[in-house]
Amino acid sequence: MTRKKTNWIITVLLMLGSLFILFPIYLAITIAFKTPPEMAGNLLVLPKSWSFDNFKQAIEMTNFFNAFKNSFFITFFVVIFTVLTNSLVAYAIARNLHKKFYKTLYFYFLSAMFIPFPIIMLPLVKQTSAWGMDNLVGLIVLYVVFNLSFNVFIYIGYIKSIPVELEEAAIMDGASTWGVFWKVIFPLLAPMNATVAIITCLGAWNDFMLPLVLLSDQGMATLPLVQYIFQSQFSTDYNLAFASYLMALAPMILVYVFAQKWIISGVMRGSIK
């Protein structure tokens, strides 16, 4: 095989392009550390001092740790329950696709992907508040159930590639269907579990619309929702607002810096299924 030379023109173009991606983040970081008088000057320069005062004030004002706790609580349990239940449901469907009931169920979940959220939004909010589900637990239940639609689709594609013989061998050894799934299939699904966990985590952590319409108590607000609620109170204090935005973005950025390779390959695996 011939080794090609590095294409420096494309390298430089891509590096220039990446500045467009990084610029808003740079702006968010520098403004979060600046003081209101500095905002009158050149916005591109670095802050005069790296003081954390804006962050302290933003934490107090938005009750940051409470919102962080809410977002974390939701994301954590949504990821766990989504992976455990959605894989199980997909397995039950995948191994019975030759039966009419399961095939119908498969297309039922699949077709739900085409239903825009606004069509169910208004009645759903009435329903959840009537049933006392206008809280964090209610949100978790809804995410896990709604996730079925997409996850069943990508899990089934993967389960089909696992030979049935593996399960039959385990059954010969006396394992139950339940045991076969947890001991044989679930571990084999590891790459897909990772993909589903990553996509679910990003979805739950960043979602704005469902918490906005569902949650009735401001104390339950998630990180994105808090930024929206405090938007009017930040008013023209952009330093405070950006400190708050940055803290809301930081957890995901930190995770991404350390796990980007894993996250990218996980999302890619899900998207080409």
Partner 1 sequence: MKKNHVFMAIALPALALFFIFHTYPALQGIFYSFTDWKGYGSWNFVGVKNYLNVFKDNRAGAAYIFTFQFAIVTTIVVNIISLLIAIGLNSKIKFRKTLRAIYFLPYILSILIIGFIFNFIFAHFLPQIGTVLGSELLSKNILGDPDLAWIGIVIVAVWQGVAFNTLLYLAGLVTISEDLYEAASIDGAGIWTKFWKITFPMIAPFFTINMVLSMKNYLMVFDQIVAMTGGGPGKSTESISLLIYRGGFEGGQFAYQSANAVVYFVVIVIISIIQLKILNRREVAN
Q: How far is the CB of 56 from partner 1 (least distance, A)?
A: 20
98 binds partner 1 (CB under 8 A): no
112 binds partner 1 (CB under 8 A): yes
31 binds partner 1 (CB under 8 A): yes
Strand, coil or helix: 94: helix
> In this chain, which of 6, 132, 173, 217 binds partner 1, going by CB under 8 A?
6
Which of 159, 161, 149, 147 has the alpha carbon at shortest distance from 197?
Answer: 147
Q: Which lies closer to partner 1 via its Cβ, residue 22 or residue 190?
A: 22
Rounded CA-CA distance 37/31 in Å is: 11
| Contacts to partner 1 from residues 125-144, by CB under 8 A | 125-127, 141-142
153 binds partner 1 (CB under 8 A): no
Q: How far is the CB of 222 from partner 1 (least distance, A)?
A: 10
Q: How far is the CB of 55 from partner 1 (least distance, A)?
A: 15
Which of 264, 247, 268, 248 has the alpha carbon at shortest distance from 256?
Answer: 264
Rounded CA-CA distance 31/239 in Å is: 6
What is the DSSP code string of 49-61? S---HHHHHHHHH
Q: How far is the CB of 98 from partner 1 (least distance, A)?
A: 12
Which of 171, 158, 245 has the alpha carbon at shortest distance from 206?
Answer: 245
Which of 199, 218, 185 has the alpha carbon at shortest distance from 271?
Answer: 199
Q: Which lies closer to partner 1 via its Cβ, residue 141 or residue 194?
A: 141
Q: Which residue has 């090609």 as its token pair?
A: 4
> In this chain, which of 65, 107, 182, 256 binds partner 1, going by CB under 8 A?
256
21 binds partner 1 (CB under 8 A): yes
Distance of CA 211 to the CA centre of its chain: 14
For CA atoms 222, 228, 233, 234, the dihedral sign is positive
| Amino acid at position 17, single letter | G
> In this chain, which of 93, 156, 159, 170 binds partner 1, going by CB under 8 A?
93
Q: How far is the CB of 157 from partner 1 (least distance, A)?
A: 14
Which of 16, 44, 13 has the alpha carbon at shortest distance from 31?
Answer: 44
Q: How far is the CB of 165 from partner 1 (least distance, A)?
A: 16
| Contacts to partner 1 from residues 49-88, by CB under 8 A | 85, 88
> In this chain, which of 46, 84, 137, 145 binds partner 1, going by CB under 8 A?
145
Region from 75-83, 112-120, 154-162, 188-196 binding partner 1, contact rule CB under 8 A: 112-120
| Amino acid at position 74, single letter | I
CA atoms in the 13 A half-sphere facing the CB of 103: 4
| Contacts to partner 1 from residues 175-234, by CB under 8 A | 176-178, 202, 205-206, 208-209, 213, 223-224, 227-228, 231
